[in-house]
Each structure stands twice: as C-alpha cells, then as structure tokens.
C-alpha cells in the first residue's frame, strides 16, 4: 500500500498549480500527481492558437514549468495512468495498473472532456475533438492533406481553431446554430460585428445551421445540416462545448448536476477533499451566485488556493473576478467579469471599425462585465479594479 499526504487527481493546469500551492507552504509532505496523459502538465490553451500553425510544433513551450521541477520538489508524477476507483471513506484511490494509494487529502482536478453531439458519424476518421496535444498534432497533420475544414460550434475554441486554420490558408467554414459567434459572452451588436469580421477573413459562415450528422465510410466526406443541406468537407473540428469529468465520483456527494460543489475554500463536503478548475461549482463571493468556470486563469488560481488550503498552514477563500482572454486573426479580446447573462445595457467606448474598444455590460445600473478589444495589460488591470469596486458597493 502506497501512502501519501496529498493526492492530486488530474495533470492539467489546476493539478500543477495545486502542487505549487502545496509546496509553497509544505516542503516535506508526500505528494503524488496522477494524470491520464503521458505529458507533464502543459498549457492546453495554446493548442487552438499558434500551436496549430507554427511550422514546427512548439512542444518545448507547452510545459507549465520545467518537468524537472516536479523531481526537484519531490513530487511524484504518475503520468499515462488514471484513478479508476476512489473510496472516500477509506481515503483510498486505485490506479489503472492496480496499485492503491492511501491519502490524507486529495484534490480533484480531472478537468473536462469535449461534448460529442448525438448524431451519426461522430467517430469517423477526420472528425477531430481538440483537447489534447495528440489531438492538435493530428489536426496539424490532417490539415496538410485536407484543404477544406468545417468547424462545428461558435464558442472560444471554435473561433480560435477557425482563425488559425484559416491563417494556414485552408478553406474554412463555421457551422453555428446561434445568430452570431461567441453568443454566450457577447451582446448582439458586438457578436454580429465579430461574425462579419470572420467572414471578411474568408471564413464561410453557416449561421443558424444545426448539425444533423457526418457522412463517410471510414473518413469524413460530407456534413449534413438539419435544414437538409449537405456540405462537402474532408476535415471537421467539433467544438460544441465541454462537460466535467465527474465519472470517478458519480453518485457521491462530490458530484452534482453543475459540477462538484465546493465551499469558498474550494473544499467539498468531504473534509480534506477539494475540487478545482472545470469541476468546481463554487460560491462567487464577488459577483454573487454560484458558478463553474472552464477557463485556464480560473483553474490556475483555484489550484494555488486549494493547494495552500490543503496544507492547513494557509487558509484562504477563493475570491477572483472571472477573467479569460482570446486572440483571433491578431485580435486580442479580454473578458473581465460575469458574461453569463445578456446585459440590459451596453456602454461602448471606441469603435468596431477601428477594432479597438471597451464595452461595459450592465444589469440595470449594476456593472457586471467589461469586454476589452485591443487594449493594453494596464487597461485590463484597470478594468479588473473597476469591476471589483463596482460589485463591492
């Protein structure tokens, strides 16, 4: 039986940051990090950006820290394996190779997986779900052979992948059932402008079209829409959202309909077991309500907080203004605050025509979010301070 003070389940940015948080406050406790991929924790957000189009994939730039950091900080990494069973009462985890780890405290950082639409042909060759390094490498290789690609979806991942593939001179289309891109975050005017911006860069927009299925014997040949259209494509990237990897704790108090419920300290109702990143359904002390975030910055900060809290030597609440960013066709957009509800009022400073603006989103008279396009890091920091002050009133 292997015994550990801390067990981190998941080797994404959240898991890596939890290790960092632990080591900042506990230099001696035994730590094991378990991850399904064979790679040390890496910057997953890069996969849909420049990683796709650089001539030589920048693998050396991907690790969050130098892999030697884990050895030098005496953190055992079990990569290329998974936890198959978790006994909460006995504080026992069984690995895929049959080994068991008895732990004092654990952090759930399993992340999420791509949603597979319930249609025919989702497992055909040349239908890619962009989540891992292997997915990105496969997409790069296929893009050299197939010159026509269809992106299914209109969220962040879909937009980033579409922009980068188009910059590789591929013929790119986007199929999105909603009236404009990034509809989960943008107001109609800004969303319509962004959709037209993509079209101006040569992307064929199938707006308002829903996927009905993929056609082909072994590899993709055509894509069917629910309206009856058939679109020819040799390659498809499916980006229809992600769902939390909660199978390990399904039917336990660690799993709920919206994620893994945690306190403001990121601890589940099971004392000593924490959840972070794409899994954590946490109380938002600043913006109000309870939410689950699926962005890199959120997982990073939550990992640091949970790691510190696990040691018992530092007790801190997770209090962060929600934040993420994206870059498409050289257009940098920073999202500060709560974009989960359509604003009742938008205050735009700047112009779409110049591709440089700041949009403030209000619910009634209450500032809830700030969207910045082509602004400096100083402006972004100022927006975070402004919103923190506004919600604190």
pLDDT in tens, 275-319: 999 999 999 988 989 999 999 999 999 999 999 999 999 899 999
Q: Do both 77 and 35 map to the same domain? A: yes
pLDDT category at 54 given cuts 50, 70, 90 is confident
- Domain-embedded: residue 379: yes
- Domain-embedded: residue 25: yes
Q: Do both 137 and 284 map to the same domain? A: no
**At CA 172, angle to CA 169 and CA 176, rounded to 5?**
155
Q: Got the DSSP string for 300-315?
A: HHHHHHHHHHHHTS--
| pLDDT value of position 50 | 86
Residue 370 has pLDDT above 70, yes or no: yes
Show which of 211, 240, 269 is a domain's final residue: 240
Show which of 240, 272, 298 is a domain's final residue: 240
- Domain-embedded: residue 334: yes
CATH number at residue 173: 3.50.50.60
- Structure token pair of residue 219: 């590899």
* Residue 256, SS3 per DSSP: strand
Domain count, the chain: 3
Distance between CA atoms of 23 and 361, rounded to whole angstroms?
Answer: 39
Which uninterrupted H or E stretch holds 94?
Answer: strand 92-95
Region 127-152: mean pLDDT is 94
CA dihedral 298, 299, 304, 308 (to 10 degrees): 110
Q: Do both 23 and 123 map to the same domain? A: no
In angstroms, the first-to-last Cα distance of the chain is 53
Average the pLDDT over each of 144-148, 203-207, 258-262, 336-340 and give the range with the smallest value: 144-148
Rounded to the nearest integer, the mean pLDDT of the chain is 95
Q: Do both 26 and 83 map to the same domain? A: yes
| pLDDT value of position 392 | 75
Q: Do both 133 and 104 map to the same domain? A: no
Q: Do both 143 and 102 map to the same domain? A: no
| pLDDT value of position 344 | 96
pLDDT category at 59 given cuts 50, 70, 90 is confident
Nearest residue to 152 via CA among 237, 49, 227, 47: 237
Distance between CA atoms of 201 and 195, rounded to whole angstroms?
Answer: 10
- Domain-embedded: residue 317: no
Region 107-119: mean pLDDT is 96
Residue written as token pair 């730039």: 61
Region 242-264: mean pLDDT is 94
- Domain-embedded: residue 275: yes
Residue 326 has pLDDT above 70, yes or no: yes
| pLDDT value of position 393 | 61
Q: Do both 156 and 254 map to the same domain? A: no
Q: Do both 42 and 109 map to the same domain? A: yes
- Domain-embedded: residue 168: yes
| pLDDT value of position 57 | 81
- Say what percent of the chain tops pLDDT 70: 100
| pLDDT value of position 60 | 86
CATH number at residue 337: 3.30.390.30
pLDDT category at 391 given cuts 50, 70, 90 is confident
Q: Do both 81 and 92 map to the same domain? A: yes
Nearest residue to 183 via CA among 297, 53, 342: 342
The β-bridge relationship of strands 148-152 and 235-238 is: parallel
Q: Do both 159 and 275 map to the same domain? A: no
Whole-model pTM?
Answer: 0.94
- Domain-embedded: residue 79: yes
Residue 283, domain extent:
2-113+243-311
The β-bridge relationship of strands 323-328 and 290-291 is: unpaired
Q: Under a CB-based contact definition with an 8 Å cutoff, are residues 127 and 236 in contact?
A: yes
Q: Do both 93 and 168 map to the same domain? A: no
Q: Is the dihedral of CA 71, 76, 78, 82 positive or negative?
A: negative
- Domain-embedded: residue 318: no
Show which of 240, 267, 283 is a domain's final residue: 240
| pLDDT value of position 38 | 95
| C-alpha of 11 from chain center | 14
**At CA 354, angle to CA 350 and CA 358, rounded to 5?**
30
Q: Do both 106 and 249 map to the same domain? A: yes
| pLDDT value of position 56 | 82
Residue written as token pair 């891992």: 132
Classify residue 280 as exposed, middle or buried by CB count within 10 Å of its CB (0-12, 13-18, 19+).
buried
pLDDT in tens, 166-224: 999 999 999 999 999 999 999 999 999 999 999 999 999 999 999 999 999 999 999 99
Region 351-364: mean pLDDT is 96
């Amino acid at each position: 039986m292997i015994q550990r003070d801390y067990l981190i389940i998941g080797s994404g940015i959240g898991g890596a940051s939890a290790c960092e948080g632990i080591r900042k406050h506990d230099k001696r406790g035994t730590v094991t990090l378990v991850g399904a991929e064979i790679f040390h924790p890496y910057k997953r957000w890069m996969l849909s950006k420049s990683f796709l189009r650089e001539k030589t994939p920048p693998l050396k730039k991907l690790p969050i820290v130098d892999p030697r950091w884990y050895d030098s900080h005496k953190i055992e990494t079990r990569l290329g394996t998974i936890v198959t069973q978790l006994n909460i009462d006995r504080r026992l985890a069984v690995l895929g190779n049959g080994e068991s780890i008895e732990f004092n405290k654990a952090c759930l950082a399993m992340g999420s997986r791509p949603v597979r639409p319930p249609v025919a042909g989702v497992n055909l060759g040349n239908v890619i779900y962009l989540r891992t390094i292997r997915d990105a490498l496969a997409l790069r290789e296929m893009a050299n052979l197939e010159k026509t690609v269809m992106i299914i979806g209109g969220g962040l991942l879909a937009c980033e992948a579409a922009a980068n593939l188009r910059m590789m001179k591929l013929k790119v289309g986007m199929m999105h059932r909603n009236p404009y891109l990034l509809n989960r975050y943008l107001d109609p005017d800004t969303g319509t402008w962004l959709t037209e911006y993509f079209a101006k860069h040569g992307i064929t927009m199938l707006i308002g079209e829903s996927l009905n299925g993929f056609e082909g014997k072994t590899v993709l040949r055509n894509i069917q829409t629910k309206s009856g259209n058939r679109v020819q494509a040799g390659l498809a990237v499916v980006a229809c959202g992600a769902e939390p990897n909660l199978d390990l704790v399904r039917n336990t108090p660690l799993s709920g309909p919206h994620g893994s419920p945690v306190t403001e300290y990121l601890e589940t109702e099971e004392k000593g077991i924490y959840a972070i990143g794409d899994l954590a359904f946490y109380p938002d002390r600043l913006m109000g309500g309870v939410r689950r975030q699926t962005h890199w910055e959120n997982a990073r900060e939550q990992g640091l907080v949970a790691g510190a809290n696990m040691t018992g030597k530092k007790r801190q609440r997770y209090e962060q203004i929600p934040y993420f960013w994206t870059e498409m066709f050289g257009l940098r957009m920073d999202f500060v605050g709560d974009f989960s509800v359509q604003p009742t009022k938008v205050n735009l400073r700047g112009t779409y025509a110049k591709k440089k603006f700041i949009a403030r989103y209000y619910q009634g008279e209450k500032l809830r979010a700030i969207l910045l396009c082509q602004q400096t890091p100083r402006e972004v920091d100022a927006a975070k301070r402004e919103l923190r002050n506004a919600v604190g009133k």
